[in-house]
């Protein structure tokens, strides 16, 4: 992984060794970001997405464990106390024992002060809420056999929740609350692992308002407007410590992941696809950063099939700094596939970015916001990528650019491919791009064009990189 921005000596070394001397594409009408009509998932869609989730995450290739996996394990060990039971035919006047289960998850969460495990029996449950600011973990688990379906969950100041094996048919949201007695109580230490989320027309999972230590891992998230969302700007309190890892996020009418006002963010190992607003009014992004964020890692994701863009880093609501984009495969966009607009300290290393209708990777000027005039970053790092096109526009520049491979096709002339730090080839040598296999073949010309300025220890699948650096997401 690339050095963080505060590692000044390492960054200075990168610059010394490797220095090389608005939104792209069609705009939506009036910049509209409107809510699409609700689109209920069909049985075939859900079945297909579940099948894809199982297939895509069954790869035997090793992958680094999520950085908060230890915390998740600790949560489940800590929740070794009493067990509370919930069943559709239970009663909230019951005791929560197996013989007298509660009827709602809300009641069980209100009872759980810390250390409990809440077991949901198969069946359908109404929307739930939790506002307990606990100091020890509570685990909520599904039935294992059968399906426990909850019509959404509002975590308002709730803390120390580990939820697994549950289906949510409306949004799960984390927000703070305020009272004169307590002041602001922010949510935090919420881990969502191995669940299914769907919310046609809305956000499937959201977290903001000073939230801390939020993990969204190994879930199936589908048929939402936004898979994960967090608003930015205004009086929203900064949040910190977000992991979104190893999820399948599919069939979205808005964005796969959209966030701002978050620091210390890790987005790794996700498969994000089918990002298309049928009304064509929403600017679709696989991942969008909107501002006021620092310390973001976007690594080893596969992002495909977006009506507009696959990754948009844009300082629309405030500054963005220290973003590492590593080992991702991003292919199939209806506009420019990837843009970084105004963000500082952004590093693109060992990515494969292909199939953007209007371009591959563009670095360009950002946006104006309160107290800040639009500006272009000049410290970008772009090393060892395979790019359908590469452009530094509107004054944006790189401090390090080397080992990048671009096509020489006449339809992508300068300034779209502006030369410095790139080598053009007739064909990069993908194994089978039409089938989504973007590995370079053993005889591909592109394999020998990488740079030793900076490389990564492993590739998209977690396999060790060795020998001469190979551009792109795979070794």
Residues 307, 269, 452: CA angle, nearest 5 degrees: 100
To which H or E segment does residue 304 belong?
strand 302-306
Q: Taking residues 280-290, report their average pLDDT.
A: 96
Q: Taking residues 304-331, report their average pLDDT.
A: 97
Euclidean distance between CA atoms 13 and 149, whole angstroms: 53
Euclidean distance between CA atoms 301 and 269, whole angstroms: 5
Q: DSSP 3-state assignment of 43?
A: helix
Phi, psi (deg, nearest 5) at residue 450:
-75, 170
Q: Is the pLDDT of residue 302 over 60?
A: yes
Q: Indicate the pLDDT class of residue 193, thresholds 50, 70 and 90.
A: very high
Average pLDDT of the chain to the nearest whole number: 84
Q: DSSP 3-state assignment of 63?
A: coil
Q: What is the pLDDT of residue 65?
A: 36
Q: Is residue 317 classed exposed, middle or buried when 0-12, 13-18 and 19+ CB atoms within 10 A define those classes?
A: buried
Quickly tell me which residue has 């500054």 as its tokens: 319
Q: What is the pLDDT of residue 39?
A: 29
Q: What is the pLDDT of residue 40?
A: 32
pLDDT tens digits for range 339-396 = 999 999 999 999 999 999 999 999 999 998 777 888 999 999 999 999 999 999 999 9
**pTM recorded for the entire structure:** 0.85
Q: What is the pLDDT of residue 202?
A: 97
Q: What is the pLDDT of residue 204?
A: 98
Computed on alpha carbons and rounded to an integer, the radius of gyration of the chain in Å comes to: 23
Q: Is the pLDDT of residue 167 over 70?
A: yes
Q: What is the pLDDT of residue 409?
A: 67
Asked if 176 contacts 187 with a C-beta cutoff of 8 angstroms, the reply is yes
pLDDT tens digits for range 337-352 = 999 999 999 999 999 9
Euclidean distance between CA atoms 276 and 279, whole angstroms: 9
């Amino acid at each position: 992984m690339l050095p963080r921005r505060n590692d000044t000596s390492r960054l200075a070394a990168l610059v010394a060794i490797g220095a090389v001397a608005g939104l792209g594409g069609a705009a939506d009408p009036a910049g509209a970001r409107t809510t699409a009509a609700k689109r209920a998932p069909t049985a075939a869609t859900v079945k297909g997405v579940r099948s894809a989730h199982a297939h895509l995450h069954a790869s035997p290739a090793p992958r680094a464990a999520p950085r908060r996996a230890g915390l998740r394990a600790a949560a489940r060990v800590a929740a070794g106390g009493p067990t509370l039971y919930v069943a559709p035919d239970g009663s909230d006047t019951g005791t929560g024992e197996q013989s007298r289960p509660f009827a709602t998850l809300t009641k069980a969460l209100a009872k759980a002060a810390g250390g409990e495990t809440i077991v949901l029996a198969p069946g359908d449950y109404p929307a739930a809420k939790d506002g307990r600011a606990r100091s020890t973990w509570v685990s909520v688990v599904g039935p294992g056999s059968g399906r426990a379906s909850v019509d959404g969950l509002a975590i308002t100041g709730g803390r120390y929740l580990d939820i697994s094996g549950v289906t949510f048919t409306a949004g799960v949201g984390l927000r703070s609350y305020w009272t004169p007695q307590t002041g602001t109580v922010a949510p935090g230490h919420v881990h969502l692992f191995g669940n299914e989320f769907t919310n046609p027309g809305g956000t499937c999972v959201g977290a903001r308002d000073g939230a801390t230590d939020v993990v969204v891992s190994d879930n199936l998230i589908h048929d939402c407007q936004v898979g994960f969302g967090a608003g930015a700007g205004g009086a929203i309190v900064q949040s910190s410590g977000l992991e979104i890892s190893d999820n399948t996020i599919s069939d979205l009418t808005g964005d796969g992941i959209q966030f701002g006002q978050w620091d210390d963010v890790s987005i790794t190992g996700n498969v994000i696809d089918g990002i298309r607003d049928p009304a064509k009014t929403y600017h679709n992004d696989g991942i969008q950063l909107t501002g006021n964020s620092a310390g973001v890692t976007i690594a080893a994701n596969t992002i495909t099939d977006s009506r507009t863009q696959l990754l948009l880093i844009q300082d629309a609501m405030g500054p963005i700094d220290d973003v590492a984009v590593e080992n991702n495969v991003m292919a199939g966009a209806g506009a420019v596939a990837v843009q970084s607009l105004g963000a500082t300290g952004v590093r693109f290393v060992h990515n494969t970015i292909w199939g953007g209708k209007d371009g591959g990777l563009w670095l360009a000027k950002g946006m104006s916001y309160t107290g800040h005039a639009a500006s272009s970053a000049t410290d970008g790092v772009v090393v060892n990528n395979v790019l359908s096109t590469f452009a530094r526009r509107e004054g944006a520049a790189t401090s390090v650019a080397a080992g990048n491979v671009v096509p020489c096709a006449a339809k992508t002339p300068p300034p779209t491919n502006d030369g410095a730090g790139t080598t053009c080839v007739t064909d990069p040598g993908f194994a089978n791009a039409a089938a989504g296999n973007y590995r370079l073949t053993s005889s591909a010309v592109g394999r020998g064009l990488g740079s030793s300025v900076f490389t990564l220890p492993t590739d998209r699948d977690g396999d060790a990189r060795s020998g001469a650096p190979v551009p792109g997401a795979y070794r």
